[in-house]
């Protein structure tokens, strides 16, 4: 699997406070990687280090195979773009002028792509309206257009749906999906709104107190949060045979414990197992929300006030 | 770095604070020549043309403090400085491009003052000759004084991400330089050659003293002061770049 970003043991202190504590993660090419963590967990700090706004105290990261201490990291960063916390825009300028300036910063010879970018984010009709007069959703979209100048193939977005209305959230989601699927842009998106993230992310990294608690694919998370019946019996082999006969979907989580995902009647199952001489020791229905899973993962800690 | 300069120029062309500063210099030049005209009419003043032609130098410190603070700080308040760093531009280049942009703007402000003055002078007073040596020396001094002021104000602005504080520091510094410069000038004039070493150092290091010498056409104006101000500007830029490399951008 080709990786775009590989982070290895990053640490960052703000005075004596540890914002990142040996964080490691890997972003595969083509993924929409959801970085999940509550406020103060270290998401923004990580993004600031990746984008070169701040320097790590220890640890390294590799971007497109170039280590952060290598001189070529500046070249690798040209393939990446980011919005940190809020879109960086000249508020006294129009959408077009903002893009024009970014084109100059990147040294792009032609401004031909500006119209296409404005169309892409739905801001082609803003005319002489200044960015400072835009709604939050429009500013976010213009921020993405600025970030897309120079055709980056890795986009980092820090809480892009914060403060957006429902319509804005839908538009942002569709834009990100389109960028990922049609323009093949790998996206690292941080958020604490898990439900929304789950609609687009292909990979997840759960971050807590500056550490990566768990990294998993969307499939693994879905399985972890799926509605199931957890049955523990005296003989696992018998249970497997009975479930196979019933054509049920299941998986064993321990030698004698299985998670059954199919909609199955418990009384006939217990009777059948009893006939086979197998005792049901416990049966428990399980259904976990994404938030519930996250809370369980981080130990139910409350929000912190760190940066 | 040319890309950064290019982008800064687009911003400068659309900058309101730059436009306001230019208008101020126009107004200042017109006022200076109107007062020159009335002074000549009432015979209160001799024909010291330096006083009018280079009078803008007395105000350029304060104008540059406000301009650099507002123009550069927009990068922090709008977070647009991130766009430069994130795409891989070196911090030293970002700093230098910002310094050169402000320096260019400062020189343009001086040029605006001189051109307006020239026009107003011709209209109000008529054709008078400024000695060519005075003119060349005055222009060179203007360039160096703006270099030194800009280096100081850009340093403060680039290293302090707090808008109100950095602006306050710059404006207070510009007035402090004016006050110290004026004090030095008066003492140097009264003490003459018996002035102490501290006064002599301040004479060369404080841009406002050189500005007063230029406007009054004083003989004490020396090449050493110009060299000292140039070295001061270069040192401040080097210190600024070194410190800016280590700054955590919010």
Tell me the mean pLDDT per 10 residues along chain A, length 307.
Answer: 89 88 92 89 91 91 90 87 89 91 89 86 86 87 88 90 81 87 91 83 90 88 81 92 88 86 85 91 82 74 42
Cβ pair B10:A89 closer than 8 A: no
Residues with Cβ within 8 Å of residue A209, at least 6 apart in sequence: A21, A41, A42, A301, A304
Phi, psi torsion values for A66, nearest 5 degrees? -110, 125
A299 touches chain B (CB under 8 A): no
Residues with Cβ within 8 Å of residue B140, at least 6 apart in sequence: B226
Cβ pair B14:A93 closer than 8 A: yes
The C-alpha of A93 sits at a distance from chain B's nearest C-alpha, in angstroms, of 8
Cβ pair B248:A54 closer than 8 A: yes
Helix (H) or strand (E) holding A303: none
Closest C-alpha among B10, B108, B128, B124 to residue B63: B108
pLDDT confidence of residue A302: 45
DSSP-derived letter for residue A215 is E
Query: Rounded to whole angstroms, how far apart are CA atoms B137 and B76?
Result: 38
Cβ pair B7:A80 closer than 8 A: no
Task: Write the DSSP string, A8-77.
Answer: EEEEEEETTEEEEEEEEEEEETT-EEEEE--TTSSHHHHHHHHTTSS--SEEEEEETTEETTSTTHHHHH
Note down the domain range covering B222: 2-244
pLDDT confidence of residue A301: 52
Which chain B residues touch A55 with a CB distance below 8 Å? 246, 248
Nearest to B249 among A54, A102, A105 (CB): A54
What distances in angstroms separate CA B202 from CA B196, B207, B225, one per listed residue? 10, 9, 10
Cβ pair B84:A105 closer than 8 A: yes
How confident is the model over A224-241, as pLDDT tens digits? Answer: 777 788 899 999 999 999
pLDDT confidence of residue B137: 78
In percent, how much of chain A has pLDDT > 70? 97
Nearest to A105 among B3, B16, B90 (CB): B3
Nearest to B3 among A52, A97, A107 (CB): A107
Question: Which CATH architecture group holds A3-79+152-222?
Answer: 3-Layer(aba) Sandwich (3.40)
pLDDT confidence of residue B128: 65
Q: Is residue B249 part of a domain?
A: no
A48 touches chain B (CB under 8 A): yes
Cβ pair A101:B87 closer than 8 A: no
* Beta bridge pairs of residue A94: A130
Cβ pair A74:B74 closer than 8 A: no
SS3 (DSSP) at A229: strand
Measured in Å, how far apart are chain B's first and last C-alpha atoms?
23
Q: Is residue B250 part of a domain?
A: no
Cβ pair A53:B85 closer than 8 A: yes
Helix (H) or strand (E) holding A186: strand A186-191
Structure tokens at B110: 């001086």
Asked whether the beta carbons of A154 and A188 are under 8 A apart, the reply is: yes
Which chain B residues touch A75 with a CB distance below 8 Å? 88
Which chain A residues touch B74 with a CB distance below 8 Å? 90, 92
In the predicted model, what is the mean pLDDT of chain A?
A: 86
Q: Is residue B74 part of a domain?
A: yes
Which chain A residues touch B3 with a CB distance below 8 Å? 104-107
Residues with Cβ within 8 Å of residue B232, at least 6 apart in sequence: B148, B151, B205
A307 touches chain B (CB under 8 A): no
Query: Rounded to whole angstroms, how far apart are CA atoms A250 and A298?
Result: 27
Q: Domain extents for chain A?
A: 3-79+152-222, 226-287
Residue of A nearest to B87 (CA): A78
A90 touches chain B (CB under 8 A): yes
**Beta-sheet pairing, A186-191 with A32-36:** parallel
Query: Rounded to whole angstroms, how far apart are CA atoms A260 and A75?
Result: 50
pLDDT in tens, chain B (250 residues): 889 999 999 999 989 999 999 999 999 888 888 877 777 767 655 566 666 777 778 888 899 999 999 999 888 888 899 999 988 888 999 999 999 999 999 999 999 988 888 787 777 766 666 667 777 777 888 899 999 999 999 999 999 888 888 889 999 998 998 888 888 888 888 877 777 888 888 888 888 888 888 887 777 777 888 898 999 999 999 999 999 998 888 8
Nearest to A52 among B11, B16, B86 (CB): B86
Mutate to test the interface with B, among A105, A111, A134, A139 (most CBs of B within 10 A): A105
| HEC readout, chain B | CHHHHHHHHHHHHCCHHHHHHHHHHHHHHHHHHHHHHHHHHCCCCCCCHHHHHCCHHHHHHHHHHHHHHHHHHHHHHCCCHHHHHHCCCCHHHHHHHHHHHHHHHHHHHHHHHHHHHHHHHHHHCCCCCCCHHHHHHHHHHHHHHHHHHHHHHHHHHHHCCCHHHHHHHHHHHHHHHHHHHHHHHHHHHHHHHHCCHHHHHHHHHCHHHHHHHHHHCCCCCCHHHHHHHHHHHHHHHHHHHHHHHHCCCC
pLDDT confidence of residue A303: 45
Query: Rounded to whole angstroms, how far apart are CA atoms B242 and B240?
Result: 6
ipTM of the complex: 0.80
- The third-level CATH classification (topology) of the domain covering A226-287 is Alpha-Beta Plaits (3.30.70)
Cβ pair A78:B6 closer than 8 A: no
Q: Is residue B219 part of a domain?
A: yes
Length of chain A: 307
pLDDT confidence of residue B43: 62
| Residue B2 CB neighbours (<10 A) | 10
Helix (H) or strand (E) holding A83: strand A80-83
Asked whether the beta carbons of B26 and A129 are under 8 A apart, the reply is: no
Closest C-alpha among A177, A148, A153 to residue A5: A153
Which chain B residues touch A74 with a CB distance below 8 Å? 88-90
pLDDT confidence of residue A307: 34
Nearest to A89 among B6, B78, B249 (CB): B78
* Domain tally, chain B: 1
* Beta bridge pairs of residue A3: A28
The C-alpha of B90 sits at a distance from chain A's nearest C-alpha, in angstroms, of 8
From chain A residues 101-120, the ones with a CB under 8 A of any chain B CB are 101-102, 104-107
Query: Rounded to whole angstroms, how far apart are CA atoms B230 and B45?
Result: 33
Residues of chain B contacting A, Cβ within 8 Å: 2-4, 6-7, 10-11, 14, 16, 74, 78-90, 246, 248-250
Helix (H) or strand (E) holding A227: none
A52 touches chain B (CB under 8 A): yes
Which chain A residues touch B246 with a CB distance below 8 Å? 55
Nearest to A51 among B3, B78, B85 (CB): B85
């Amino acid at each position: 699997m080709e990786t775009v970003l590989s982070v290895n043991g990053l640490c960052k202190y703000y005075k004596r406070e540890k914002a990142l504590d040996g964080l490691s993660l890997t972003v595969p090419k083509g993924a929409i990687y959801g970085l999940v963590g509550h406020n103060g967990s270290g998401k923004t700090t990580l993004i600031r280090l990746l984008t070169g706004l701040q320097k790590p105290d220890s640890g390294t990261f590799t971007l497109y195979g170039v280590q952060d201490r290598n001189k070529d990291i500046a070249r690798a960063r040209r393939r990446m773009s980011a919005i940190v916390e809020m879109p960086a825009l000249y508020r006294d300028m129009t959408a077009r002028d903002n893009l024009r300036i970014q084109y100059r910063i990147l040294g792009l010879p032609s401004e031909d792509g500006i119209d296409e970018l404005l169309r892409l984010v739905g801001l082609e009709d803003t005319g002489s309206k200044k960015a400072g007069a835009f709604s939050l959703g429009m500013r976010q979209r213009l921020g993405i257009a600025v970030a897309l100048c120079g055709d980056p193939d890795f986009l980092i977005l820090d809480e892009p749906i914060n403060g957006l209305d429902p319509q804005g959230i839908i538009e942002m989601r569709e834009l990100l999906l389109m960028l990922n699927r049609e323009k093949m842009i790998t996206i690292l998106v941080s958020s604490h709104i898990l439900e929304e993230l789950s609609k687009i992310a292909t990979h997840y990294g759960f971050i807590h107190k500056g550490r990566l608690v768990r990294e998993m694919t969307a499939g693994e998370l879905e399985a972890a949060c799926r509605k199931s019946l957890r049955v523990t019996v005296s003989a696992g082999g018998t249970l497997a045979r009975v479930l196979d006969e019933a054509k049920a979907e299941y998986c064993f989580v321990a030698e004698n414990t299985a998670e059954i995902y199919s909609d199955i009647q418990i009384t006939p199952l217990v009777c059948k197992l009893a006939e086979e001489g197998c005792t049901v020791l416990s049966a428990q229905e399980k259904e976990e929300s994404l938030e519930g899973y996250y809370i369980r993962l981080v130990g139910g800690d409350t929000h912190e006030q760190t940066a | 770095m040319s890309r950064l300069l290019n982008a800064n120029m687009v911003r400068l062309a659309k900058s309101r604070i730059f436009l306001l500063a230019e208008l101020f210099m126009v107004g200042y030049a017109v006022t200076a020549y109107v007062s020159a005209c009335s002074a000549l009419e009432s015979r209160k003043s001799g024909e010291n043309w330096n006083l009018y032609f280079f009078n803008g130098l007395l105000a350029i410190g304060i104008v540059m403090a406000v301009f650099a603070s507002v123009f550069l700080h927009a990068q922090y308040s709008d977070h647009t400085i991130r766009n430069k760093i994130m795409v891989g531009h070196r911090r030293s280049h970002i700093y230098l491009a910002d310094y050169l942009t402000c320096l260019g703007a400062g020189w343009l402000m001086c040029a605006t003052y001189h051109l307006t003055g020239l026009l107003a002078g011709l209209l109000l007073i008529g054709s008078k000759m400024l000695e060519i040596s005075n003119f060349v020396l005055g222009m060179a001094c203007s360039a160096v004084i703006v270099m030194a002021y800009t280096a100081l104000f850009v340093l403060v602005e680039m290293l302090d991400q707090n808008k109100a504080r950095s602006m306050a520091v710059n404006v207070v510094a510009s007035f402090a330089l004016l006050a110290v410069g004026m004090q030095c000038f008066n003492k140097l004039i009264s003490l003459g050659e018996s002035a102490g070493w501290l006064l002599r150092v301040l004479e060369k290091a404080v841009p406002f003293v050189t500005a007063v010498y230029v406007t009054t056409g004083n003989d004490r104006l020396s090449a050493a002061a110009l060299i000292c101000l140039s070295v001061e500007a270069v040192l401040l830029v080097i210190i600024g770049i070194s410190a800016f490399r280590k700054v955590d951008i919010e």
